[in-house]
Amino acid sequence: SSLGDYSQTWLQHRPIGGRTRHNYRRLLNSYILPTFALTDIRDITPAAVATWYSGTAAGTPTVRAHAYSLLRSILH
């Protein structure tokens, strides 16, 4: 399944509050899904993540770290 489809299901089943859910959606929509929405989860390699990370939110390292952490949690 694609990361886009899986991430929506993953987010629906997380026992988190509304603010956290909203923040996760913002990170997904702004930083993760533009690159990986249509990518099959099995095709997301460490090299692909490293390339994505190097170009994502470069001017805002905290946002980039949060986006990476969310992606890692979804893929784990």
C-alpha 13/C-alpha 34 separation (Å) is 22
Q: Give the model's pLDDT for residue 44.
A: 97
Q: What is the 3-state secondary structure (H, E, C) of 1-21?
A: CEHHHHHHHHHHCCCCCHHHH
Reported as a single tens digit per residue, the pLDDT across 18-61 is: 999 999 999 999 999 999 999 999 999 999 999 999 999 989 99
pTM: 0.93
Alpha helices in the chain (DSSP H): 3-12, 18-27, 33-36, 46-55, 61-75
